[in-house]
Structure 1
């Protein structure tokens, strides 16, 4: 199928996934952190107190998604996205009106579970349920919504915060989400089928997996290190990017350009990986999708010089884009699409916990005197081992 034929037949569903990924930006860390200093000032919180509150909200949302993600297997994606958009709009409005710490914490939890959790989950899973011959391209297009939000929303939000205040910015976010909710209620994604219908099924769905059976499955356990690696390691690198820059001698003025390179590499590699998955399959491409992060970890260990920052972040971004496509494709090939919501939600919860842990682990290592070079070597070894395990996946397939 040519790309034009793909857009004619499945473009509406891919566009729906893209839109939901874009709207999930209002519950992502990059957007919430833009008003972080104002929130801390308004509630008299220090960095540690606000960070702890945010981490608690994120972990709680990850645990909630174990259940909430599975709901997508029992309802249509339209119903699921409607609930997520309504919840996220309510959360944005609640944050703008919060008058105490309890309401602040509850608002942050709702932003994370409805935004990063449910909307992001709906975006990827709806695209991943399409047939195997087009699944990679559909997921690749849907995931472009994430970097689109990262590219356009910070500038708009900072301008609104500077001129009108942070509470107005969140009220405007609630208004945008309300408009998106109205659009979803009015339109129906083309090709949508409830997971329980025949159209929502795919090949190995004869036996319905349970969460416990998945956690015991050898294929899942072999793929788990690859699921954990990108969110955990990239969160650690990005969280301590200032420390990396100071240690490696990277000029801070190059960091903005490096992060732009990260976003561009994520977009480009996500699209290319979509084509590769459709041609070769997710199981085969899982052997290669960690290569960018492996190379950037080796660069951290052995390469110096100011312009190494550009290559480091570009290679890291390449794995970020590839990971968004490969992981749902592999899960669909291993477990089918009928229960993909529950399977992916379980993986998402594990990834959230891992991404919350690495800033702490990296922090203890740095405080103990471990060099960034040693951290890079340790991460490269882990990534090599995770990639090696993926060669076993075809033989362990259910």
Structure 2
């Protein structure tokens, strides 16, 4: 831990930039957008189920756009890519706030998902993976703290402001806040990250060939399912968590308090994951990090008291806390860093698709009358298969 603290002190400016991007990505994450679901559904006279379907379509569309823009991190200056992404995220927030037709809501959601959850996370993880080699795990784990920080702080703040002001003003205010960050970005020196840039922009044909070779590679079929499974499961459970709480007859207030435990656990294991990746390598950690959430699903299914939810939330926090560091580090270890931006954009696309499919499929299961136990056991089986598949990483060589 002393080495970690020393590393943070020596590289704080570089690391704080990565942390800021993951924190600001919260404005496009499901947990924050979910605060507006009821208000938007009421405003535009649509059901919450209809909003969920629109959200899924927008998320999938954003994931495919990621393929066309994710590679820019490899060859365009970090400051330009970041500034453009922040501007687009801010415009998406403001557009949502002033929208008076469902079409504008659709466009706004695409922008929020693409630039928030997609690009800001992508930029942060890619540039830190490229810049740091021996201490990649520590760098990525510090950057990942932005996620848990956003989960702890922003829902409380925005819920307070939504209660006092109209949700539209909160959305517009979020956009203005993002634009103000551009002032700070202008005076931030990011030239050290540009040393890893490749020369020239790849053609569309080159990108298609690269993506095709990645998908047809054995490594992709080992790495992708775990990333997909985590995002699929976590997003689905969080999206419908209060539906499950109501069906179980649990206290929503006590569950909300337990959710804070998830955020804190995620924060702690974000740090621990970085230390373990540097000590044991991402390949070794990749084989075991799905175990906690997989076992936690069994607790959610079979423990009838609300403490079953607590066990699941803590176990989910362990896996999710480590996942950001491990998923980014393993790509650098297995593929190298030369085209890491393009490679991560492909994996990010599948991850974002999973966040759309999770609520959609689990929603169908709920509408179909399946019990919570059956739903959780189905997710458990899915995660267990991905865990078994992850063991194949042992035979994959490491690249630098």
Same fold (TM over 0.5): yes
98-107 vs 324-333, greater mean Cα deviation: 98-107
Matched, 1:285 2:285: yes
Matched, 1:383 2:383: yes
Matched, 1:143 2:120: no
111-120 vs 98-107, greater mean Cα deviation: 98-107
In structure 1, the residue matched to 2:189 is: 188
In structure 2, the residue matched to 1:201 is: none
66-75 vs 14-23, greater mean Cα deviation: 66-75
- Size of the aligned set, in residue pairs, is 389
In structure 2, the residue matched to 1:42 is: 43
Q: Deviations over 1:327-347 (max 9, x none)?
A: 011111111122111111111
Q: CA deviation at 1:259?
A: 0.9
Q: Say if 1:44 and 1:367 are closer, same or farther in 2 by CA, change over 3 A.
A: closer
Matched, 1:331 2:331: yes
Contact preservation (8 Å) 2:73, 2:127: no
Distance (whole Å) between structure 1 residues aligned to residue 340 and residue 375 of structure 2? 34
Q: Say if 1:160 and 1:369 are closer, same or farther in 2 by CA, change over 3 A.
A: closer
Contact preservation (8 Å) 2:30, 2:235: no
Gaps of 5+ in 2: 200-207
236-245 vs 135-144, greater mean Cα deviation: 236-245
Runs of 4+ with >6 A deviation: none
Structure-2-length-normalised TM-score: 0.90
Q: CA deviation at 1:153?
A: 1.5
Q: Say if 1:42 and 1:372 are closer, same or farther in 2 by CA, change over 3 A.
A: closer
Contact preservation (8 Å) 2:141, 2:273: yes
- 1:256-275 map, 5 Å: 256-275=256-275
Structure-1-length-normalised TM-score: 0.91
Q: Say if 1:79 and 1:336 are closer, same or farther in 2 by CA, change over 3 A.
A: same
Q: Deviations over 1:144-190 (max 9, x none)?
A: 11121121112222222232322221221122111111211221237
- DSSP 3-state at the match of 2:193: coil
Q: CA deviation at 1:249?
A: 4.7
Q: Say if 1:4 and 1:154 are closer, same or farther in 2 by CA, change over 3 A.
A: closer
In structure 2, the residue matched to 1:362 is: 362
Distance (whole Å) between structure 1 residues aligned to residue 369 and residue 172 of structure 2? 44
In structure 1, the residue matched to 2:73 is: 72
Distance (whole Å) between structure 2 residues aligned to residue 157 and residue 249 of structure 1? 27
Gaps of 5+ in 1: 199-207
In structure 2, the residue matched to 1:251 is: 251
Q: Say if 1:216 and 1:31 are closer, same or farther in 2 by CA, change over 3 A.
A: same
Q: Say if 1:369 and 1:29 are closer, same or farther in 2 by CA, change over 3 A.
A: closer
Distance (whole Å) between structure 2 residues aligned to residue 364 and residue 35 of structure 1? 22
Distance (whole Å) between structure 2 residues aligned to residue 76 and residue 153 of structure 1? 29
Distance (whole Å) between structure 1 residues aligned to residue 305 and residue 347 of structure 2? 37
Q: CA deviation at 1:194?
A: 4.6
